[in-house]
A and B are shown apart, each in its own frame.
Chain A
Amino acid sequence: MNGPAADAGLDTLLADIDAARSQGLAAIAAASTTDELAHTESGLFGRKSVLGRIKQGFGSLPVEMRATAGRALNEAQQELRAAYANAADELAAAARRTQLQQEWLDLTETPPGPARGHLHLVTQTTERLEDVFVGMGFTVSEGPQAETDWYNFEALNLPAAHPARSMWDTLYLDLGERTELGDGEGGEASNVVLRTHTSPVQIRVMESQPPPIYTICPGRVFRRDTADASHMPVFHQIEGLVVDRGISFADLAGTLEEFTSAYFGKAISSRLRPSYFPFTEPSAEFDITCVICGGAGCQTCQRTGWIELGGCGMVHPNVLANCGIDFEEWTGFAFGFGIDRLALMRHGIDDLRDMYTNDIRFLSQF
């Protein structure tokens, strides 16, 4: 079959396909929800849809028309499917957007959750100090808080009845059996004390390990002091000890300077002044640039520009000898200062006692 009738039939068919395509697109565009869109699906793509029925009629078409019409139908179907998929995506996205919009939250409404705790300032300061010295090649040594008279005094070149013992107000322990001090008149002195400094740890280190020794001894110490703004009967100290061949006073000065700038910053430097301690010779007082005024002079440093940090010196030959170290072969230096005071200085705390109330309003600031 050929001729104008056939051509007219093809034109009608193509027009039908095109109309179905247009209607389909309109139906897709009209769907405003995913559900509405789903309702259009069978009308667009099912066997009973317009295009479905046209396709079913293809069997009766002449061969030469079938190819042309088939191509048109496929194109229309593809276009509709694409439009449908596109619309489905857009409607789904819009639906999600709408849903999320409904999930609005004021994040500032959040009630506080679990808080982290806080390390005590003394711990924080001790760890900072340890870290600086570990970086300088030191180990950290520990020892008992209750000590014998030997470790706390005698081995440190402070024999019984040495007048310099009065430099420390010592707390003695009652362990049941009382031991008189060497002078025979003391009567109630005991042989065991609460260590008045961490120096006994130095003795224990020197007794137990051969030089070279580079160590620090941080820890709790005790004095028979009434608590006030700058004294506590229980406080914390850090001491350092170096014993090696050829150690000199210049090594002491250099080590303290290195520590000072590492801990306090480059702007702060150190100086040594002659002093006296029974366990060191030469002995020195260890000052640093006033951290408040930077050395210009202020109330804190009594206008000197310097603040006293601690004591130091070359380990006394008697101390080395007491630990079985040959002081001709080995020399050493030691230094010590308070940890608590550094914490006060860093945070501008006026009263040492505040640090030991254990008030959470204090603890949680740091």
Chain B
Amino acid sequence: MKVLLSWLREFAPIEGDPAELADHLSDLGMAVEEMRVLPPLDGVVVARVAGLRPHPEADRIQLVDVDVPGTTGEGTDGALQVCCGAFNMAEGDLVPLATVGTTMPGGLEIGERRLRGQLSQGMCCSAAELGLGDDAEGIMILPREFELGVPLMSQLGLAGDVLYDLEVNPNRPDAMSVAGVARDLAARLGVPFGVPAPVVSETGEDISTVASVEIIDPDLCGRFGVRVIRDVSIGQSPLWMQLRLVLCGMRPINSVVDVSNYVMLELGTPNHTYDLALVPDGHLGTRRSAGGERLVTLDGTEREMLRGDGLIVDRDDRPIGISGVMGGENTEISDSTTAVLLELAWWDRLSISRTSQRLGLRSEASIRFERGTDHELVPVALDRFCELLDRVTPGGVSVCSGRLDGRGDLPTAARVRVRPARMSHLLGRPFSADELRGLLDPIGLRCAVLEDDADGTLEVMIPSFRPDVATETDVAEEVARHYGYGRLGRTVPRSPEPGRLTPTQRLRRDLRRVLVGAGLSEAMPNPFLAPDAVRRAGIDGVEPVRLLNPLATEESVLRPSLLPGLLAAAAYNTSHRNQSVSLFEIGVVFGSPSARSASDELPTETEHLGAIWAGGAVVDAVRMWDLICHAFGLDASLKNSADLDGMHPVRAAEVMLGDQPIGVVGEVDPVVCERHGLDERCGWLQLDVESLLSAAAGAADRPYQVVSTYPSSDTDLAFAVSDSVQASHVRDTLQAAGGRELRSVALFDIYRGDQLASDTRSLAYRLRLQADDRTLTDEQVAEIRQRCIDAVERTHGAVLR
């Protein structure tokens, strides 16, 4: 929202340093995104084109003789000669001339110079060159009444004017107008604010004889004001109006459209004009569409209405406009229009919002209607339109007497009880009733003290231009805003409980550090996958959650596993010559929608750890699992399993906590690696973090095992064991058979070869035996050893070697 300081001043005597005013605006919640002080440009004066001559040496430049009183130059009859690249002016036109020595807004300094041998004694300026909009096409042609030789900016009343570009929050419909911004700023500065009453001389017939209004759906349209203006001649609006519109970001079109936009910017009241001759009986109706109706809007596009969209219809119920969004082509103002039917309505906010969003038609008007316009301004804005159109139309217009004022459902004026004690509590500083009143009255929130109320409770009348203020808390924001957020105090509340991480949160941090300590780096791959990425990673039988509105097909499903993402990350690194990376991720994976129970609205989310060793071996992954178990005091175990998702067919195992599988370890299926452009083999570990950490939490307070002070003795056992027997099971058997005195079992040698059957290998274990309370005798050691041998031979069909 752009506002000019000079325009603000039409509503309040706002004075002060432009930068300080900008600070006030920001502090009031209308953040100044850009501030531009328009330079006085005293060197740019009004000049008259005395003659036009071709440049003897150049086609694209002409020589212009310009008259400026008090100067003589090298042109015809002592006029200044200027070389000019534009051809839009004619003899007698008034144009802005930047005289020699002027510094332009863009920094260009005007000097006397020669262009292709011809002297140029200044520069004729386009609007863009003067910082007055985007029009760089031609030289600005000025009104005939402008005074020659006098600086242009001061004649335009813009010298030293300030343009603020404000960021207006959605809850501030009032600040979507020059008058509203002025009201807020005037309150902050403590100066009076008022909207001048427009003066309309009604010279036409009574409006009721030429127009009528019917509100068919009162929940759509709360108020529908109409004026009729005759003797309209469509022309250009005056320069001052055009410039204000341009500086505020709107394009001048013609006098009627410009006045319409001007009123909208000034008062925040969008309005629409119809060619009265094209509206049968001047009748306007408004209703919701039943759906299916079609209308060609002003932009030439045919729109189809859905049920509930707001429409303007004519006498014959024919759609002639979309309420609050855009008018129809069939009743559009044209150059031949002589009578204007002016509509100024108040629409239901949600209806406008829904229709404009659906149609992708977000206009200056719809934005204002969505936020909420001021229905009480309807007659004022109608009159202001008439006043301005009369002023800008040469010879004036004739306004029909009276207005039509259709009424539908309007929000009732809210009264909010405001307790000074509550305000003080919410804002952390004592506010008296008087202080509150002093802050609220100037912004139109009129306060009355409740009779017989010892607490000084105020009753605040909420004005129609602040539909966002509906509760005591909303009023608190207004109080805080106008008191100044920065002036409210700063205190620090203290929780009655100490701050802390939960055990799971602490252990999750530990887990990350175990991984980092073991050399893995943390990756964060995209959790969105292409639909075929799951299958490409060798994961079958999972129907991933799909996005309804993905940005791209490649990112249209939620990952059911961390494997695809980490494979992609490993492949990215390999393709960038970062070989042999080891990466991990701790993140959420999403279960199939069909897998959740009927009572679950949400898909299941499980936190996984995934770790990948590019160019690594399965042993890296297994050792990592051992390390994690060791770090958390858990018993590691694995269950060799064939054909796990995405894994090498015979090099993978399920990771077990007790008899509960909590993950997978192994080598990624080389076919899957190849599909991801990875020519390295990859180790893989995947764990369910919640299961892991809850076991870790259970083991966190494990009791101390006394370190025995008695001597220990080691004994080695080697068995020939069938490949069908998992080595860890042999170890478990040894552990169980050895009992309390068996302190550790270490697999120290594996041998396959000639001396053994082809599907058999030798597993050699070193057993360390020790008692807590005595030195083990040779007989006792021998007995334990024998127990271990017997158990392994009996359980696994193994043979001691």
Residues in A lying within 8 Å of B, measured CB to CB: 114-120, 122-123, 127, 130, 133-140, 142, 144-148, 161, 163-164, 166-167, 171-176, 183, 185, 188-192, 194, 212, 214, 220, 224-226, 233-234, 242, 244, 246-251, 253-255, 257-258, 271-276, 281-285, 314, 316-317, 331, 355-361, 363-364
Contact = CB atoms under 8 A, between A and B. Distances in A.
A163 B170 contact: yes
B78 interface: no
A185 B308 contact: yes
Nearest to A142: B505
B402 to A, nearest CB: 35
B307 A360 contact: no
12 contacts: A117-B516, A117-B522, A120-B523, A127-B509, A135-B499, A163-B370, A172-B547, A176-B594, A214-B497, A220-B588, A282-B473, A358-B569
Contacts of A273: 26-27, 29, 31, 485
Contact of A122 (B495, B524, B573): B524
Contact of B427 (A171, A173, A248): A248
Given A145-B588, A163-B370, A134 B501 contact: yes
A174 B357 CA distance: 22
Interface string B291-320: 000000000000000111000000000000
A275 to B, nearest CB: 6
Interface string B584-595: 100110100110
A12 to B, nearest CB: 61
A360 B485 contact: no
Contact of A359 (B171, B573, B605): B573
A328 B357 CA distance: 37
- B477, B516, B523, B558: most-surrounded residue (chain A CB, <10 A): B477
Contacts of B425: 246, 248, 331
A359 B572 contact: yes
B498 to A, nearest CB: 6
B601 interface: yes
B545 A175 contact: yes
B429 interface: yes
A323 to B, nearest CB: 16
B481 interface: yes
A189 B549 CA distance: 9
B708 interface: no
Interface of B: 26-29, 31, 169-172, 306-308, 349-350, 353-354, 357-358, 370-371, 425-429, 471, 473-474, 476-477, 480-481, 485-486, 488-502, 505, 509, 512-513, 515-528, 545-551, 555, 558, 569, 572-573, 576, 578, 581-584, 587-588, 590, 593-594, 601-603, 605
A231 to B, nearest CB: 11
Nearest to A148: B601
Contacts of B499: 133-139, 214
B29 to A, nearest CB: 3
Contacts of B584: 117
Contacts, number: 258
B602 A247 contact: no
Given A192-B601, A234-B528, A250-B428, A361 B488 contact: no
Contacts of B427: 248-250
Given A234-B526, A250-B490, A274-B28, A171 B550 contact: yes
Nearest to B524: A120
B520 A117 contact: yes
A128 to B, nearest CB: 12
Given A117-B522, A274-B480, A274-B485, A251 B428 contact: yes
Contact of A233 (B350, B551, B576, B581): B551
Contact of A272 (B486, B495, B515): B486
A244 B306 contact: no
A271 B502 CA distance: 32
Contact of A274 (B29, B306, B489, B569): B29
Contacts of B525: 356, 358
A146 B491 contact: no
Contacts of B26: 273
A360 B524 CA distance: 12
Contact of B358 (A185, A226, A282): A185
B421 to A, nearest CB: 11
Contacts of A135: 499
A226 B494 contact: no
Given A172-B549, A175-B603, A116 B500 contact: no
Contact of B495 (A214, A282, A364): A214
10 A-B pairs with least C-beta separation: A250-B428, A274-B29, A248-B428, A282-B477, A276-B169, A137-B495, A214-B495, A254-B490, A358-B569, A134-B499
Interface centre among B425, B505, B601 (most CB of A within 10 A): B601
A134 B528 contact: no
B542 to A, nearest CB: 15
B549 A224 contact: yes
B500 A317 contact: no
Contact of A250 (B28, B488, B549): B488
A273 B23 CA distance: 11
B516 A118 contact: yes
Given A253-B489, A274-B29, A281 B477 contact: yes
A164 B603 CA distance: 27
Most chain B CB within a 10 A radius of its CB, from A148, A188, A284: A284
A154 B89 CA distance: 60
A194 B491 CA distance: 36
B435 to A, nearest CB: 16
Contacts of A173: 545-548, 558, 603
A247 B605 CA distance: 35
Contacts of B520: 117
Contacts of B512: 119, 123
B476 A145 contact: no
Contacts of B169: 274-276
A224 B486 CA distance: 35
Given A145-B605, A249-B428, A276-B172, A212 B522 contact: no
A357 B502 CA distance: 31
Contacts of A220: 527, 587-588
A127 B474 CA distance: 36
Given A163-B353, A272-B486, A331 B426 contact: yes
B555 A185 contact: no
Contacts of A275: 29, 169
Contact of A146 (B488, B545, B548): B545
A86 B603 CA distance: 84
Given A166-B357, A214-B497, A117 B476 contact: no
Contact of A164 (B170, B307, B426, B545): B170
A233 B555 contact: yes
A314 B473 contact: yes
Contacts of A119: 512-513, 516, 521-522
Contacts of B171: 276
B501 A137 contact: no
B494 A137 contact: yes
Nearest to B427: A249
B521 A360 contact: yes
A190 B548 contact: yes
A190 B549 CA distance: 10
B605 A130 contact: no
Given A176-B593, A282-B480, A331-B426, A139 B522 contact: no
Given A250-B491, A284-B485, A357 B603 contact: no
A276 B602 CA distance: 30
A317 B601 contact: no
B473 A192 contact: no
A356 B353 CA distance: 36
Given A139-B499, A271-B486, A363 B601 contact: no
A282 B502 CA distance: 32
A250 B486 contact: no
Contacts of A147: 602
Given A115-B519, A127-B509, A145-B588, 10 more contacts: A116-B519, A137-B495, A137-B498, A140-B501, A171-B550, A174-B545, A192-B603, A250-B429, A253-B485, A361-B576
